[in-house]
Structure formats: C-alpha cells, structure tokens
Amino acid sequence: MEKKRYERPHIVKLDSGMPGKFGMRNDSPPTTHIDGVAVTELVEKYGSPLFVISEHTIRSTYRKAYKAFSTRYPKVQFAWSYKTNYLPAVCNVFHQEGSWAEVVSGFEYDKALANGVDPGKIIFNGPGKTASELMKAAENGSLIHIDHLDELYLLTDLAGEMKRKPLVAIRVNMDTGIYPMWDRFGFNYENGQAWDALNKIMLSGKLELVGLHTHIGTFILGANAYGVAASKLADLALGLQQKFNHTIRYIDMGGGFASKNTLKGSYLPGADTNPTFDDYAEAITTALVNSGFKPESLPLLILETGRALIDEAGYIITSVLANKRLSTGRRATIIDAGVNLLFTAFWYQHPVTPAQGFSQYREENTIYGPLCMNIDCVRESINLPLLNKGDKLVIHYTGAYNLTQWMQFITLRPNVVIIDPDGTAHLIRQNESNDSVSSLEKTPDYLIGIK
C-alpha cells in the first residue's frame, strides 16, 4: 500500500469575529515552477537558498513602463539604476532593451563601462564622486549630475585641465508635498539654491549645462508628487531659456516608483493598491506638456526607475529548516534565507508561497531566517500551509536592492541564476565559498596558529 503524503496534525479554533488585519487569507497557489522551470529541479542543480531572476519578467515590465511614458510623451529614455541590481547579466537585459546607465560611484561607473555602455549614455549621480572619477567621466563625455557646491567648484577647477567641456546637470531637491522631504541631495528649489548653482554654472562658462535632475524619494505612493516635481523642473528650464537663452536637453525625474511590494504596516496588498506606471506617467507628462515648453522643443524625459522595474523579476527559493512553537503558542518557521539575503524584509511584507501543493489547512506563522540574531525575521505574520522540514518556499518580489545590499554575514551568499525567455536557467553569480571569502583576509605572521 502506498503511503499518504504526511501533513502535521493541526487544529484551529473557529472565531466568529471580524477578520483581523493580519488574518487575511493567503490561498495563493503554490509556486511549483518559475518561468516553466521546476523549483525542485533548480534546487537540485543550484542548491538552496537560491536567487532566481526572470528575464521574461524584466523585459515585459520594462516594456510596460516604456509604453506608459512613450504613448504620452515624444522623447523618453530610461537609465538603469545600477545600485538596484548591478549583476552584469541583469544590467545587460536593460541595456538591450534600450536603457542607459545611472550610476552613483566610481565602482558602478566602471561596471557600466565594462558592460559596454557608451560613456555618453552614463549618468553619474551621487554625493561622493572623487576628483579622478569626475575627470574620467567628464573626459569620456558622460553626464555628470552635480550634487553640491563643493563638487561644482571642484569640477569647474578640473574643467581647465580637460580636453572637453564637462557635460553637467544639477540635482534639485524640493517640496513635492510628500513626507519626509529628501533635501540631503542636490540643491533646494524653494530657497533659491538651485538658481544659485545654475547661475554659477552659466556664468563660469566652463561647464556645459545639459539637464536638470531630481529624485524625490523612493517607493512614492502618490503619483501627484511627480507632477509637482516635473512642474518645478520645467519652471527652472524655462527660466534658463529666458535668462540665458540656454536650452537644456533633458529633464531627469530620477527613480522612486513603487513596485508591487507591500510596505510593512499597510493594510492592503501593494499589488492591488500601489500606483501603476500609467499613473506616474500621466502625472509627469501632463505637467511637462502643460508647462511653457513649445511642443517642438520639449526636453528629453529621462527616468531612473529602479525597484519598480526589477522587484517582480526576483525570487528566492528557500528551504524549511525547522518549525517550532514560540512561548505564546505561535507557530514559527525557520528557513535558510534570512535578512542577510533579503535586506528588503525590513521594509516589505514579501509574499511567500509554498513550492509544492498542500491541503487547504493554513496556520499563522512567523518566518525567521537562519541567523542567530533577533533582527532576522522574514515575515512577522503570514498564513502558510502546514510545512514540513525540507519543504521549499518561494519568496517573491525580491529583485531590487537585495543582490546589491545583501551581506556576507554568518553564512555565505548563494548562487544566482537567470531564466532566459526559452526557460533555460543560467548561473549569473557563483555562490561564495570559504576560500573566496578568506582569499581577501590577511593574518600577520605572529597571529598564525593559536599557541
């Protein structure tokens, strides 16, 4: 006689009260396959935990975003925000789709060059560019977004030694009605700092002012803030025309669109309630089209969208290591992927689904990672089927920031694969080993050995 699939014995009291905030049912179907590839097969070949990137999802998300803007505005350019996910394979999917690169350090700048990006299509943001990085980028004809006056002075000085005039924009911060207001980066609009910087650039004659940039924040849930920001940049651009008879080439609205993730503390799932690309596009393009630009001289609209383009393409496959009951009677599940791999668990309630079919019984769970640290909590509260040790789970919407902010902390970082549109998996980052980590460590002779 064949044995039945085992499920833990489970009993739950029926309450007739209202469904609670955390009691929303989670009957999402199991994720047995990702882009047609069986999760079990992926784990067998590449181990657990495992990061999986769906190339199909990247491309289709990108195309949706591009369409939302290009159907409303004549000149649109995306620039892939490297810090969101700078694995070369991922960057090159975006570059193949037509994205430029947006980088915030010399390290990222060199990565973009190594990926084959035309230097003229690299936007160099960030508050910490060094003199040699500025020289290199400027001489390459990359677009330098000036963050503060010290950088403006430095670049103006360096310009004297250069063979070509540096191409620059300024980063503008402003009140768009959202809280908190990001005023740490760039020059403020309301208090006149932005005009001060523009005047200095125009009057020095040493820099070629080609654009205006803003990045109003991240995971912005109100699309209207972008309308306000676009109007303010348009206002600066039109002022430059009037005062200096100078026409800028582009307006760069930065990143910050929300992905489908659900912020911690939200009542409703982000996938149902967050603004769509169409909402953001409508706000931005309406503001630009309705400003004083002549229709034939509308500036190029650049977008540095990060998380909204990649979050949904990323998955982590993880294994149940143990389940236990906490002193309060609450069920806890321990998995092999913690906040060391899933930095964004601090912000989001990532959807988690089983990778195999289960009965309809569900139990409220807290999911912990494998780190011996109190902070290592992947989900504080989630309804899950009755999991056994060894079962696989899939964590969704993990494509943004995790593969750049993950930590080699307590455990080693795992393999990363991309699934191509034909359903073949390719390794795009090798798992770390003790050797690869310790190859960077040095022990002085007198500290070798224990005696």
Partner 1 sequence: MKINENLAISESGFLFNPSTGESFTVNPIGAEIIELMKEGKTEAEISEKIIKSYEVDIKTLQKDLHDFSEILRHHQLLDQYEETKN
Ligand X SMILES: Cc1ncc(COP(=O)(O)O)c(C=O)c1O
Classified as helix, coil or strand, 426 is strand
Question: Given the complex with ligand X, which of 143 and 386 has the nearer CB atom?
Answer: 143
Question: Given the complex with partner 1, which of 65 and 355 has the nearer CB atom?
Answer: 355
Q: At residue 403, what is the residue type?
A: L
Binding status of residue 275 toward ligand X by CB under 6 A:
no
**Strand runs (DSSP E) across 186-313, as ranges?**
187-188, 208-213, 250-252, 300-303
Question: Given the complex with partner 1, which of 16 and 297 has the nearer CB atom?
Answer: 16
Applying CB under 8 A, which of residues 9, 29, 160, 295 lies at the interface with partner 1? Answer: 9
The CA angle 89-100-163, to the nearest 5 degrees, is 120
Size of the site for ligand X (CB under 6 A): 16
Binding status of residue 404 toward ligand X by CB under 6 A:
no
What does R_g of the chain's alpha carbons equal in angstroms? 25
Classified as helix, coil or strand, 315 is strand
Among 167, 184, 171, smallest CA distance to 214 is for 171
Question: Given the complex with ligand X, which of 218 and 276 has the nearer CB atom?
Answer: 218
d(Cα 229, Cα 78) in Å, to the nearest integer?
18
Applying CB under 8 A, which of residues 25, 163, 294, 325 lies at the interface with partner 1? Answer: 325
Site track for ligand X across 79-108, x = CB under 6 A: --x--x-----------------x------
- Contact region for partner 1 (CB under 8 A) — 28-36, 55-63, 297-305, 384-392? 384-392
Classified as helix, coil or strand, 103 is strand
Pairing of the two strands 167-173 and 187-188: parallel
Backbone angles phi, psi at 34, to 5 degrees: -120, 120
Site track for partner 1 across 331-370, x = CB under 8 A: ----------------------------x-x---------
Question: Given the complex with ligand X, which of 79 and 386 has the nearer CB atom?
Answer: 79
Binding status of residue 282 toward ligand X by CB under 6 A:
no
Contact (CB, 8 A) for 154 and 202: no
Q: How many CB atoms lie within 10 A of CB 345?
A: 24
Applying CB under 8 A, which of residues 180, 265, 295, 329 lies at the interface with partner 1? Answer: 329
Question: Given the complex with ligand X, which of 136 and 307 has the nearer CB atom?
Answer: 307
Cα separations (Å) of 93 from 90, 161, 324, 436?
5, 37, 42, 27
Question: Given the complex with partner 1, which of 8 and 21 has the nearer CB atom?
Answer: 8
Cα separations (Å) of 430 from 86, 175, 283, 388, 415?
15, 44, 42, 29, 5
Question: Given the complex with ligand X, which of 261 and 349 has the nearer CB atom?
Answer: 261
Applying CB under 6 A, which of residues 166, 186, 306, 351 lies at the interface with ligand X? Answer: 306
Binding status of residue 330 toward partner 1 by CB under 8 A:
no
Binding status of residue 41 toward partner 1 by CB under 8 A:
no
Question: Given the complex with ligand X, which of 31 and 81 has the nearer CB atom?
Answer: 81
Query: Does the CA dihedral 5-6-7-11 come out positive or negative?
Result: positive
Binding status of residue 256 toward ligand X by CB under 6 A:
yes
d(Cα 379, Cα 24) in Å, to the nearest integer?
14
Binding status of residue 19 toward partner 1 by CB under 8 A:
no
Binding status of residue 214 toward ligand X by CB under 6 A:
no
Site track for ligand X across 123-162, x = CB under 6 A: --x-------------------------------------
Applying CB under 6 A, which of residues 95, 307, 331, 379 lies at the interface with ligand X? Answer: 307
DSSP-H helix ranges across 188-276: 193-204, 224-244, 270-273
Binding partner of residue 14 among partner 1, ligand X, none, CB cut-off 5 to 8 Å per kind: partner 1
Binding partner of residue 329 among ligand X, partner 1, none, CB cut-off 5 to 8 Å per kind: partner 1
Applying CB under 6 A, which of residues 69, 94, 189, 257 lies at the interface with ligand X? Answer: 257
Binding status of residue 25 toward partner 1 by CB under 8 A:
no
Backbone angles phi, psi at 294, to 5 degrees: -70, 145
Binding partner of residue 5 among ligand X, partner 1, none, CB cut-off 5 to 8 Å per kind: partner 1
Joined together, the tokens standing for residue 178 give 């959202």
Residue burial 122-144, b: 16+ Cβ < 10 Å; e: rest: bbbbbeebeeebbbbbbebebbb
Binding site for partner 1 (CB under 8 A): 1, 3-14, 325, 329, 359, 361, 386, 388-389
Binding site for ligand X (CB under 6 A): 81, 84, 102, 125, 215, 218, 254-257, 304-308, 400
